[in-house]
Chains A and B, each alone.
Chain A
Amino acid sequence: MGITRREFIKRAAALTAASYIGMNLPDGFEDIAHATDVDKWVRGSCRFCGVGCRVELGVKNGRAVAIRGVSDSRTNMGFLCMKGMLFYKLMSHPERLKKPLYRANKNQPFKEISWDQALDIAAKEFAKAVKSYGSNSVAYYGSGQALTEETYIFQKVMRAGLKTNNVEGNPRLCMASAVGGYVTSFGADEPIGAYRDIEKCNCFFIIGSNMAEAHPVLFRRVMRRKLNNPDTVKVINADPRVSPTSRIADIHLKFEPGTDLALLNAMAYVILDEKLYNEDFIKNYATFRVGKKVEVSFEKYKEFISKYSPEKAARICGGNITAENIRKVARWFANSMATMSMWTMGINQRKRGVWANNLIHNLHILTGQLCKPGADSFSLTGQPNACGGVREGGGLCHILPAHRLVKNDKERHEVEELWGVPKGRIPAKPGYHTIAMFKAVNEGKIKAIWINCTSPAQSLPNCDPYRRGMLRDDVFMVVTDIFPTKTTELANLILPTAFHFEKTGVFGCTERRSQLTTKAVDPPGEAKPEVWIVREWALRLAKELNDPVIKKCVEPFLGKEEGYELSKAIWEEYTQKLTKNRDNDLSGATYDVLKKLPDGVQWPAPTKEFALKGGTYKKFVRGIDPLADKYAINDLPYQFYGEAHQDKKLWIWLRPYKGPAEPPDEQYPFYLSTGRVIDHWHTSSMTGRILELMRANPYAFVEINPKDAKKLGISPGDMVLVESRRGKNLLPAKIYEGPIEGMVFVYWHDMFEDRMINKVTKDAYDPGSKEPEFKICACRIRRVSGPKPLTPYIVRKNWPSDWHPSS
């Protein structure tokens, strides 16, 4: 078994002592994952990022005591990152919310109340708002961390019950531009290929992503592919900042933030100029578009691109971009056997995020680097269930479940029929998008808002005005969460929820794979699964508003046990009714099927047999994608049946170069970019409470290029003021040859007031996707003092001395 001799002797000593007094030794071996010390291993997904690692939680005496990766999983292959390895310690953390808390006014302290009282209050307040101000005065702001079943039932009650499309989620802040890019370029959302392409890929183009820290277990696969084939596999890393991801890169392209649209167009220039494009692929599968979908010719596109010579792009981009570098990279991209692009927030969180996505897709369409093994234009998703729950489950203001559009009358009525609610029940127009929603809160237009499993007080760009808005006493705020956060501080009603593995549900990860996590332990105190909360709330709403249709929304789920059966019933309705015959058909992926697989099912998976094999590895390819065969319009091997494109073709978009919304100027001469580190996740409400992770990265710092630091007289550890037109932060300096000269970088996980960088960022957003530009704004920095001792935000009384990591 591999136990050390010393450990053996110690156990013998302990057992002897215990036997003297007739004591059975309980779980004193918690922080060790001993196979024999665990009652059962329960399979599920990791709680954190969009990779979708599969794990097994070790349970002993009803408590989570260990975790290990699932070796047969096609996502992580048994590996875990530090966050996945330790998250189970949160389950019994003393700060878990255990009872509903309520205050009528936001300047009062919270009082513990019962669930009956809490649900009554929630129902009464929402009913009051609807009766006095209409359906448009209530809203739901959800999360890409909520289970698909949770998002689905919430949005059903909001749309068909309360008759509002004010349903949004935090994926608006991270993935909306990727959605926009996929829909406009390929005609349908989500990647064509899968992780499997990594092991066949010969050229990685990693742009606007620090995979090594944000998607470490997926990065491991890229790293392994590169290390096994150091000469034949090329890695291109394009990022204004040198990051741990750059360690495996053959070339690091450093450019000024926001200039990457010029870079991407210049790469297209080289591909056209040196005739590196795939003529057949373009002829068979692509057309060219400009503006509002106006079709143009290939010649027009060539004319357009001729303005983006590598020499011109090099001038725009600065950094280490030279015409020669652009040509080299473009040649690698086009000539390799299989090229895979991967990106996350560097491309999405931008004023022109959709365009940036389009330009990457363009390169793949031009060179035919799509649909064959190893080649794909692969957007990495940040949250574990942004794809499955929000993008597919209907969790944004303009979409309905299974990739339907609110404003498409036929599709909207179809949903009403499937739900058995009267025609016309769902409003015909989309609701408020996220920034508009919180602006509406500020203006008193929204009277009741339910915030689920996310912390907009910290995660919204330029967060201070929105925090002030949420603090209004005429806005009734319900917040469902597991821990106190910056957002629960602004609530009227806080409802404690069950954590991952304390309830059952599906997460759909980056590669279109839906994976099931089953309940392993009971939630602490009176915490409840969200699906139960919504059902009970809906029943009371129906009474308050005297509206039986609201009850109809949850009727199929009445009487179901909340830890498993209720989720199962919701998943059945969603997959069997809503996704059937849609492009994300999951009707073959029943709970029984999902439980049989080590990982999960990639849609489309219209039958159980097909789902049991794992589903569709690559979309649009005949013989692999059942819908490609079903919707084939000719004999070609690839069928782009995406709903958004009537001509069933891929669209190459003519997108001009546009810079950021707020570039540096005389007053604010630095670029500010925000991002992540491996040790923390999102608002660190979870990772900040894991001792090992908190110590690994206790507070946010400002990364400054050594040349800039020298000019400004800043030494490592000095306290630096980072200021923009909107707010300021006081952060310790980290001098690191990371950010390009003229740029500073700060991570956004920290909750400490002086280190919440979203007080400084700008809420400009992409006009198409409405996703904010977190990645670029203008700031100025100045040294304030020498190093000072700092305190991490999550400080309990006597922390850490009265809390043991294995307790």
Chain B
Amino acid sequence: MPIGGFVVMVDPKEQDLVVKKLKHKDFVEVYGSDKKGNIVIVIDTHSSDEMEDIVKEISLISGVLSVGLTYLHAEDEVERIEKGEYIPKIKGRQRGFLH
């Protein structure tokens, strides 16, 4: 279950609204924000796939300029993959490499 620390950069004018929306998002915890439009969040999900989905959703919120990963802890997920409990879906361009 990966844990990721992110900095969400937002347009300062819409900051309050974005903070509110983030606070009510599942799996997202808001740890703080400053006056320059930076919001520190931690995303804690079951899988990296889910985390990716959430990052995508956040980047689509009006006012959000970027979502940057600064810290990722994925030890649990790696163990699960090693044991064969979880097979991550490989997305995107990788699909082109299917035989």
Partner of B7, one of A12, A17, A26, A801: A17
Closest to A804 in B: B23
A13 touches B32 (CB 8 A): no
Interface residue A797 (Cβ < 8 Å from any Cβ of B): no
- For residue A21, which residues in chain B have a CB less than 8 angstroms away from its CB? 7, 34, 36, 38, 40
In the bound complex, what is the Cα–Cα distance between A18 and B71 (angstroms)?
A: 11
Supplied contacts A10-B29, A25-B31, 20 more A-B pairs, CB within 8 Å:
A9-B73, A10-B44, A12-B71, A12-B73, A13-B42, A13-B70, A13-B72, A14-B29, A16-B70, A17-B5, A17-B7, A17-B70, A18-B31, A18-B40, A20-B70, A21-B36, A23-B34, A23-B38, A28-B31, A28-B40
Is B58 part of the binding interface, using a Cβ–Cβ cutoff of 8 Å? no
CB proximity of A44 to chain B, nearest CB, Å? 28
Q: Does A802 sit within 8 A of B, measured CB to CB?
A: yes
The interface size of chain A toward B, counting residues with CB under 8 Å, comes to 19
Instruction: Tell which of B36, B40, B44 touches A17, judged by Cβ atoms closer than 8 Å.
Output: B40
CB-CB nearest 4 A-B residue pairs: A13-B5, A14-B31, A16-B71, A17-B5
Q: A10-B44, A13-B42, A17-B40 are in contact. Are A802 and B20 (CB under 8 A)?
A: yes
Evaluate contact between A13 and B71: CB separation under 8 angstroms: yes
Q: For chain A, residues 9 to 58, give those with C-beta under 8 angstroms from any C-beta of chain B.
A: 9-10, 12-18, 20-21, 23, 25-26, 28
CB–CB B7/A10 < 8 A: no
Q: Which residues of B contact A18 (CB under 8 A)?
A: 7, 31-32, 40
Interface residues of B (CB under 8 A from A): 3-7, 20, 23-24, 29-34, 36, 38, 40-42, 44, 68, 70-73
Q: Are A14 and B20 in contact (CB under 8 A)?
A: no
Expressed in whole angstroms, the minimum distance between the Cβ of A65 and any Cβ of chain B is 14
Q: Does A283 contact B (CB under 8 A)?
A: no
Q: Check A10 against B24 for contact (C-beta < 8 Å).
A: no
Partner of B40, one of A6, A23, A804: A23
Given A18-B31, A25-B32, the answer on whether A10 and B42 have CB atoms closer than 8 Å is yes
**Nearest-CB distance from B70 to chain A (Å)?**
4
The interface of chain A, by Cβ under 8 A from chain B, is: 6, 9-10, 12-18, 20-21, 23, 25-26, 28, 801-802, 804
> Which of B6, B29, B70 has the most C-beta atoms of chain A within 10 angstroms of its own C-beta?
B70
**Docked-complex contact A6 and B3, CB < 8 angstroms:** yes
Question: Pick the contact of B5 from A6, A14, A23, A802 — CB < 8 Å?
Answer: A14
Indicate if the CB atoms of A28 and B30 lie closer than 8 Å.
Answer: yes
In the complex, chain A residues whose CB is within 8 Å of the CB of B24: 801, 804
Chain A nearest CB from B6 CB (Å) reads 6
Contacts A/B (CB < 8 Å), 15 sampled: A10-B44, A12-B71, A12-B73, A13-B5, A13-B71, A14-B31, A14-B32, A14-B41, A16-B5, A17-B6, A17-B41, A20-B7, A21-B7, A28-B29, A802-B20
In the complex the two chains form, what is the Cα distance from A21 to B37 in whole Å?
Answer: 11
Known contacts: A25-B32, A28-B32, A802-B20. The answer to whether A13 contacts B3 by CB under 8 A is yes
| Cα distance A9–B73 in the bound complex, in angstroms | 8
Interface of A is mostly: helix
Q: Are A12 and B5 in contact (CB under 8 A)?
A: yes
Q: How far is the CA of A801 from the CA of B42 in the complex (A)?
A: 21
A786 to B34, CA, bound (A): 51
B6's nearest neighbour on chain A, judged by CB, is A17
Q: In the complex, what's the smallest C-beta–C-beta distance from A796 to chain B, in angstroms?
A: 14
Closest to B30 in A: A28
* Residue among B7, B32, B41 facing the most chain A CB atoms (10 A cut-off): B32
Docked complex Cα distance between A18 and B42 (Å): 11
Complex: how many Å from CA A315 to CA B24?
60
Once bound together, how far apart are the Cα atoms of A716 and B18, in whole Å? 42
How far is the CB of B9 from the nearest CB of chain A, in Å? 9
Chain B residue at smallest Cβ distance from A806:
B23
Name the residue of chain A whose CB is nearest to the CB of B29. Answer: A10
Q: Is the CB of B73 within 8 A of A13?
A: yes
Whole-angstrom CA separation of A318 from B6 in the bound complex: 69
| Chain A positions within 8 Å of B32 at CB level | 14, 18, 23, 25-26, 28
> Which B residue's beta carbon lies closest to that of A14?
B31
CA–CA, A804 and B32, complex, Å = 14
Q: Which residues of B contact A9 (CB under 8 A)?
A: 3, 73
List the A residue with the shortest CB-CB distance to B1: A6
Q: How far is the CA of A272 from the CA of B47 in the complex (A)?
A: 77
Residues of B within 8 A of A10 (CB): 3, 5, 29, 42, 44
Please, how many angstroms separate the alpha-carbon atoms of A10 and B36 in the complex?
Answer: 23
**A20-B70, A23-B32, A802-B20 in contact; A14/B42 too (CB < 8 A)?**
yes
Q: How far is the CA of A802 from the CA of B4 in the complex (A)?
A: 26
